[in-house]
Amino acid sequence: MIWFLKRFPLLLLIGLMALIMSNCTMLGLNYASLETDNKPLPEPPLKATSFAENSAPRTALKRAFEDTLYGPWPEGMPVSHGAWRVVDADYLAGRGTLEEIEITVGSGPGARSFHLVTAFPKAAQAGPLVISQTFSGNCDVFPGSLVTASDGGICDGPEMTGIVGFLATRIFGTYIAQAPVSRYFDAGLAYASFYASELVPDRNGEAQSVMAGMGGPVNPTSALMAWAYGFSAALEVLEADPRIDANRTALMGHSRHGKSALIAGVWDRRVDALIAHQSGFAGASLSRSETGEGLVRMAKSYPHWLAPTVRLYLDDLSSLPVEQHELLALLGPTPVLLGNGRSDVWSDPNSSYRAAQAASEVYEMAGAKGLTDTGMRSFDPDAGLAFWMRPGGHSVVSEDIDAFTAFLAAHLGQPAIRESAVQTADCPVSSSIITKVGGAKCP
């Protein structure tokens, strides 16, 4: 006993160290491997010809994703909306207007409504748009603006404040909640955003009962699919707006909302470009990969994100009939940017890169530029399948916004807009990334 008491502080320290070391990946203390040649190719190999738009194999593969991971796309679920409310006619010192619209998805008493806030730049012509889906309420995304809060009232300041807000932005980046709208305006883009939990709450149990009651001809059975449909509903409303060029619309999401953005791009082919930042498992990372979080852990920690059918495959992932390079291939040739952080091993950048490598052929076959296959650290915003990796962890930081706007300008903007976005992009803080946004070399 005395022996134990004497050594207690040392044992405690060893225990703590072991705990920290076993969670290094989760805590962002490891680095993603940059080697891909020594790792398995995604299975099954793709047949690029199977991905032609509206082809039978494409339809069958989408069906397989529905039957196993995501549940049905809620085809035909009614979407209706109110009128735009001008929140700020003189937004960002008169550069644009900030407006809000309430969108309802579904029918009957279980229909769900959410507030879509949009910053329209003042422009003579209809322009490009990016729609983002967020973790936090609109008060945090547009701090200081009189948008509708999650409780239905009008915001009186951000909700994520004090020590929680401070820590969240330190850990997850300056732009984890707040939207840098002026930078999207600089790139010539309108910026729209909604809080995914307003549509379907991000809570196990509650999410499933909300989805079951939505009153569609087909209801979603996974939150990821429901949020993807939210993207589609927002797109429907904004594509009908004369200020938006319906041929230049993009979706954007971080992490779980990167997963739902990828799904939305497959099932709603109106999307013209897409950013999935650190989407991880059930997103761009390979389900059979054993690095990082892993599909099994994700499905068990967040049972409402995926359809209940996923449980049939969790004991043996090799039996899963779909793999995520096939999801990326289904997106082709829509331009897609996959954002990554070198220390965000949790979301497994390495297997995302291998998935993109495998899907690239589908882009090339459709006449688009595939992945510029010069390694995980080079970034080509012009690529149809673009891969962005910076130092750091699971977060949304200033360099990410530079990469996003360069990619969007390359695919949705005029060349002049693209050039200005590229010129404002700085070199990443660490020399471990060798290519500057826009392709130039960093010192």
Pairing label, strands 244-254, 79-81: unpaired
Chain positions contacting ligand GCU, by CB under 6 A: 255-256, 280-281, 293, 298
CB of 388 to ligand GCU, least distance (A): 17
Contact (Cβ atoms closer than 8 angstroms) between residue 418 and residue 440: no
Which residue, 178 or 360, is less far from ligand GCU as judged by CB? 178
Which C-beta is closer to ligand GCU: that of 252 or that of 298? 298
List of residues 6+ apart from 206 with CB closer than 8 A:
none
Alpha-carbon span 42 to 124, nearest angstrom: 47
- 298 vs 307, which CB is nearer to ligand GCU? 298
| Location of structure tokens 């390495």 | 350
Tell me the one-letter amino acid at 180: P
CA 218 – CA 75 distance, rounded (Å): 6
Of the two residues 80 and 150, which places its CB atom closer to ligand GCU in the complex?
Answer: 150
Whose Cβ is closer to ligand GCU: residue 177's or residue 409's?
177
Q: What does the block give as tokens for 126? A: 């209809």
Nearer to ligand GCU, 280 or 413 (CB): 280
- Shortest distance, position 342 Cβ to ligand GCU, whole Å: 17
Is residue 268 within 8 A of residue 170, CB to CB? The reply is: no
Q: Closest approach of Cβ 393 to ligand GCU, in Å? A: 11
Closer CB to ligand GCU, 172 or 185, in the complex:
172
Residue 306 beta carbon to ligand GCU: minimum distance, rounded to whole angstroms = 11
Task: Give long-range contacts, CB 8 A cutoff, 24+ apart: 51-57.
Answer: 51/329, 51/330, 51/332, 51/362, 51/365, 51/366, 53/269
Q: How far is the CB of 114 from ligand GCU (least distance, A)?
A: 18
Q: How far is the CB of 11 from ligand GCU (least distance, A)?
A: 30
What is the C-alpha to C-alpha distance for residues 368 and 355, in angstroms, rounded to an integer?
17
| Range list of H helices, 268-414 | 295-301, 324-331, 349-365, 398-412
Q: Are the beta carbons of 333 and 384 closer than 8 angstroms?
A: yes
- Cβ at position 280, least distance to ligand GCU in Å: 4
